[in-house]
Amino acid sequence: MRNLGTSLRLQGRYAEALPWLERSLEESVIQPSHRGDHAHGLLEAGLTRLERGEFDTARQLLERARVLFADVQKQRMTPARADLLVGLARLDLQRADNDGALHSAQEADLFWRGFDSKNPLAGAAALWLGRCHLVLGHQAASSEALSRAAHLVPTIDSIQIPIT
């Protein structure tokens, strides 16, 4: 259910994705041994709500995912946790917490640069890092990050990240 919801989210089919993601959350919360699955479900539902502009609900879901990932994965950074940080950076920018956004985006970007620097999700992290630096007036850092993003993400729409 979560994989189908994720696939629909990545296609930009958010309204179709939500029922699958919500159902996966209902199922994963029942089994204490499925806490990692539940954290991933919270992440996907949060990112879907973020794309729909449901910022408060997105933040609640992503914060719950952050707590659960920290418990399940301890200090280990993973692609899912990096995606979570990008989502939180986007939300922080939306509410003008520019320093918070920068911190999350830097952490996600650092992970992707060391883990898989050619991955399109590394491009997403670089894009949002560049946007954070831009808002803060860090022109050189913004240009560097946005340049990396442009090389990694052939079309921003392919990963559902608006650039305006």
Domain layout of the chain by residue ranges: 1-74, 77-164
pTM exceeds 0.75 for this model: yes
Domain 1-74 shares a fold with domain 77-164: yes
Is residue 36 scored above 70 in pLDDT?
Answer: yes
Q: What angle do CA 104, 106, 109 make, to 5 degrees?
A: 110
Q: 3-class SS at 127?
A: helix
**How far is the C-alpha of 10 from the C-alpha of 2, rounded, in Å?**
12
CATH class of segment(s) 77-164: mainly alpha
By C-alpha distance, which of 158, 77, 87 is closest to 119? 158
What distance lies between CA 50 and its chain's CA centroid? 9
Confidence band for 32, pLDDT divided at 50, 70 and 90: low
- The fold adopted by the segment(s) 1-74 is 1.25.40
